[in-house]
Each structure stands twice: as C-alpha cells, then as structure tokens.
Structure 1
Amino acid sequence: MRIISTSLSAFKSKTMYQLTFSFEAFLAEFWQKKPTIIKGGFNKFTDPISPDELAGLAMEEEVDSRYIAKHGNEWEVKHGPLTFDNVPKDNWSFVVQAANHWHEGAASLVTPFRQLPNWLFDDLMISYSTPGGGVGPHIDQYDVFIVQGSGKRRWRVGPQKEDYEEKHGHPALRQIKDFEPILDDVLEPGDILYIPPGFPHDGYAIETAMSFSIGFRSPKKQELLSSFADYVIANEVGDVHYHNPDLPARKTPGAIMASERADMEAMMRSLLDHPEMIKQWMGEHLSQNRHELDIIAADPPWQAAEVYQFLESGEVLKRLGGLRAFYYPEQPHQLFINGESYQLPEECGTAATYLCDAETISQDKLGKLIDHPAFIALLTQLINYGYWYPVE
C-alpha cells in the first residue's frame, strides 16, 4: 500500500526540506528544557502530502488513525479505518499516526530531524483540522516538533508542573483542565513549535489546516525492566535457585534475615553483570517498532547476483519508512534491525553506516563493499523481507 514517488527526480524533489536554524544551538538551549516557537523554521513550506492522500491513509485497515470532533461541550472520537460521510462543517480533525511508514513524501519531512538519535524517534503524526478542530488541552510525555503546514493554527503551551487536574471530556482523550499559557501564538506554514515532555498544550485550527508532528519518545524504566526480564526468561539466563549451605537454625522462622535479602538482591543484580548480553538485548529491544510497518516481501525473491547487478547498474535501494536499524560504533559488524540481530564479518563494519545511518543505498556509497559476498547475502535477505526496496 506504500505511496511512493513515480520517479527518482520526484523522490529527490520531496527531500529538500531544510531547517533555517542551528540544530546544535537549539539542543543547547531548548531540548528537554523549555518549549519554543521557531518562526519560519522551514522556508516556503509546502505540505508533503495532500488532504485527500491523508484521508486515503486514514481509510486503510492497517493504518492507525482517529477522528476527533467537538459538539459544544461534548467530544466524539472514532478509531480508524475512518469514513468521512456526514462530517460536520467545523470543529473536527482526523490524525494519522506513523504516516512516515506509508507515504514517502511525508517521510521526507523527518530527514532534517535525523540530527537526533534514530532510536529516540517514534513517528510522524499528521493532522487535518477544520476551523475549531483540535483535541483539547493535554500533556504528552515525549518530545515533539509540530510543523505547521497549510492553514493557520493557534497554539498555547503552559508551564510544567505536577498538579494539573484531569478533565474527562472523553475516555479516549487524556485531557486536562485549562492552564495559564507561557506561549500563545498563531503558527503559519513553515513555523515549528517544540514541546518537551510534561508541558501542557492546546492547539486548534483557525482555518482549515494541516499539522505535522515529529515525535521523539524515550523508553521508560518500567519498559526497559520488563523487556529485559522477558529477554532473560526467553534465553534461560540465570535459571538457578538461591542456595545457602551455611543456613543457620532460628527461633523466628517468619523472618527474612537481612543477609538473606542481600543475597537475593545480589542474585538479581548479577544478571546485569553481562555487558555483552545487555548490548544484545538493548539493540534488539530498541530496534523493535511500536507501529505497523508497510512491509511488502519481495515476490519473487531476489537472488544475490540480481542484487549485485542492480547496484552495479547504478540503481538505488531505499530503506522502508519507519524501519528501525541500529548498531554500536565499537561493534559495527553487528546490526539490529526490526528486533533481530544480524552478524557480518568484521571487515564489513562499514555496512552499518549505509544500512543504519543512510536512508538509501547505491554503488557510489558502498564502494568495494559491494564485492563482499557476505554483505550482498545479507542485503538480499533484507530486500526479500521487504526492508529495502528499489527506488522507482
């Protein structure tokens, strides 16, 4: 279902989004510190996707979408696949999550933000709103850059504090009661609003508008602990019982002695004394995706010789939108892609840069690596999975 460009020149034309500000300076002053509005963050901004294309995505079963409307003091929420029959004139929106997984033009808007770690990036959410459309005041626990597309939208952002009162407008909307804004402005095409975690915000369209939210989501302690525990159990690590051959007799059998508690705490902590295992688990965990991918397996499957000839002829392969692919710089011959680990010979370590850092692969980039059978074999496997595909 992937919506792709019809030619390489069209693909190139959709990747020209460039920020007008220093990202290094932004990180130093604002990242996870305070919200800000960057006027003209993109010059001459044009929407990378049309409202009709976005609506088409929202109508698909595989795509995560929502319809949100306000009727006086009442809220209405529908989850996709959506239809757009009998919608009111104003005060409604629809949003598509992970739009970068399904539309190449939309995915190109993420590229300027690749100066942040890919493992932090979550997805590109796109909203279409009629006048008055929004989701009400709420708080998110992730970093987000909201790029204003066509139309205008008013945004208000409040201070970070812990005692905001929840407002139960609808079970599917985690809204809060109103707040005193520290930012209050109207965004026009190309403006960017950055909101760190924990800052309340509320936006509504002044006129029919498109908004593009590039979200970065850090893992929680609970998630990491739960995932690591699952990994330990699945790999039968630490499958040993507590033993104490020097156990003394006691008159208080109901007591858990301090020394026994300390011994069992040490057993648990010892599971973390395996740095290579931790690296393996973390690479696999961080490369797993929270959103559906538009995976289309190759049919018929490619052969290694075909992949070699394809690249040698100057053609280009593109990584699947939203695919998570990572590596450790000190061990670049081991790759973590979509929750799995892949091993290459050490002399193929440069493959990590092309497969995990770059979004496209070509002979010009690969150089002599194209002649290594192990690399071509892995690339063939990844193409057949649908993780890389030819640029049309």
Structure 2
Amino acid sequence: MKNNTASSVKRLVELLIVSLKLGLTSFGGPTAHLGYFHEEYVRKRKWMDEKGYGDLVALAQFLPGPASSQVGIGIGVARAGVVGGLVSFLGFTMPSVVALILFATLLAGSDISEAGWLHGLKIVAVAIVAHAIVGMSKNLTPDVKRKAIALLALVVTLLWQAAFTQVGVIILAGLVGLWLFKVHDTSDAVSSKFLVSKKMGIICLTLFFTLLGMLPLLRELTGSYWVAVFDSFYRSGALVFGGGHVVLPLLEQELVPVGWIGNESFLAGYGATQAVPGPLFTFAAYLGAVMNGWQGGLFATVAIFLPAFLLIVGALPFWDVLRNHPKIKGAVMGVNAAVIGILLSALYKPIWTSSILRAEDFALAAILFSMLTFWKMPPWIVVLVGAIGGTILSIW
C-alpha cells in the first residue's frame, strides 16, 4: 500500500513539474501547444502512444472548450486519474493566470485610455486572429462545401449578433456536416484505457449540463452579481468550439455591453494574452482581475475552465464508442468549417472596427501579420513590436 501511495505521489509530482514547464514555455496558441505536448509526452516520455495521442486530440477538437488544455487534462487523467488531470491543468495554466492578473493589477492604477502602446496591442489582436484564420482554414476548409459552411457562419454571426448565435451556428454546421460528409470507414476502430470510471464520467457530464441550465435561472432569481459573473464566464467556456480565439466574441458580448469592462481594456488584455505562454482561455484571469481584483481573476479562471474539465473527464470513459462512430467524423468536419466563419466575424467586429482606424494602423497590422506568417517570429516578440509601434504612431 505504501509503495502504491509513494508511486502515485511521485507520478503527480512528476506530472506537475512537466506541465509547469510546458506552462512556462508553450507560446504560440493551441496548435503550437499540441506540438509541445507531443514532443514532451509522446516522443520524450512515452506516456502515450501516437495513436492514443491522436485520438485524444480528435476528442478535444470535437468537444467545446480549449482544445490544448483538454488534451493536457486527458494526458493527466491517463497518467494519474482525475487528480492527475487536475494537476496537469494547474501546471499548464497557472503561469499565464498569474502573469495576466499582475498585468491587470498594473493597469488598474493608471489611465491608459489614450496610451499608444494600448492601441498597439489592439492592432496585435488583428494580426494574431488573421494569422490563426489563415493557418486553420487550410485544413478546415479545403473544399467548396466546407468553404460554403464557413461563409454561411460568417454571414449569420455578423448579421445576427445574439447571445446564442455562435452555438446555434455550430449545431447547424454539425447537422449539415452529418448530411454532406458521410464517413463509413470503421476499419481503424481502437480502444484506450483512461483512469476514470464511467460513474465519474456520468457525474461530470451531469454536472456540466446542470450548471449550464441552472446558472442563467439562478442569475435571474437571485440577482446576485457573483452568480451573474460565474454564469457569463461558465457559458463562454461551455459554448466555444474551435479554441481560445473563438471565445473573444462571446466574452465581449457578455462583459462589455453591461459595463463590467471597457472595450479598450478588453482588447488590451486580449493583446497581452498573446504575450504569455499557456492557454488563451486565461484571458478570463485578466478580465476577472480588472473587474474584481486578483480574487476576481481566480474566480473567472475557475468559471471559464470548469466546463472544459467536466466535459473531457466526462467523455473519456465513453470515448471508444464515440470515436468509432462513422457519422461523428462528418459532424466534426462541418463544425470545424463553421469555426473559420466565426473567426472571420470576430476579426471584423469587434477587433478590426475598433483597432484599424487609419492607414498607419493597417500598415502596422500588416507588419505584425508578416512577422507571424512569413518570418515565423514568436508571438511575444510580435506583441512587443506592436506595443512599440503603437507608441510611435501615437506621436507620429
């Protein structure tokens, strides 16, 4: 018994150290994170084989939430159970959470509304999202059918900007994908072992849907500010397909119109999030800290990541049946195409409309985009150049 306990503790400590190292060094967004994970967990440590890792990535792409964080949680679960998943999440996430709470704290003591570097960070957001769209569209919309789905998602999300527009588009795209892309190959059916029971999976999935349905009701019944904040961040985390970039319009619609945070501060934080390693969902830590100090930052972080944790832990025990179902692949193809349209919509509004105000702004955005796309520079360098460029433009 002592040997088993010691072995479990050793695994958890090792998992924390490795995930913390990744949390401190994984720049470049979710796709880059998956590359870092593959190198560390599959090639170097051999905690998971190639097929198992590929299937875990596929599951994370299908579920709403931050894909790279869910893959990290899944690897932790495979290594050391549900506690391992939590440890893996904390190690990968907390470095950027701490950095963004500190950034928000520094902003709180100064008037930044007219700061040139702030405008530069807003222009950085244009370059980052445009770069993400270019990279993702090559794989997610390679044919005419999927380009049409992306176009439809773009038009609908631009012209009908309601709270549940994005999730409605995602559902519709999944149904269209089921119809258009009928995949019948079942020769590659496989099985994996994750250290989580079906009972635990059912509990997590039940809790996910209960919170999703009950929080808006509690928000109306209680009128509590903290319930409202938790509801806004939880729903944003629960209804996002396609990664961290897509959470931007959801959070903007939840926080800016009600006056919880100004548009200037919102986009400044989004730009700053690109400068830190780790998942883009930690943008919530910055937003919560601007609204309610460091306690609010931690509160918002828990709220936005909780649905992702519940979903991945809940889905893992049932993943074999899900991934071996041929029709699921068609739905994923449709959903992924819609993600491109949603990203394009977010690129235009609110990012482009509040950032590119004159020719000089567009010139800086083009330079930053080229640094990312053609010269393959690290995002933190692009953010630094954007801040300096914005300062120069302010005195031009």
TM bucket normalised to smaller: under 0.3
- More strand per residue: 1
Q: Choose between structure 1 and 2 for higher RCO, CA contacts under 8 A separated by at least 6 residues.
A: 2
Q: TM-score, normalised by structure 1?
A: 0.24
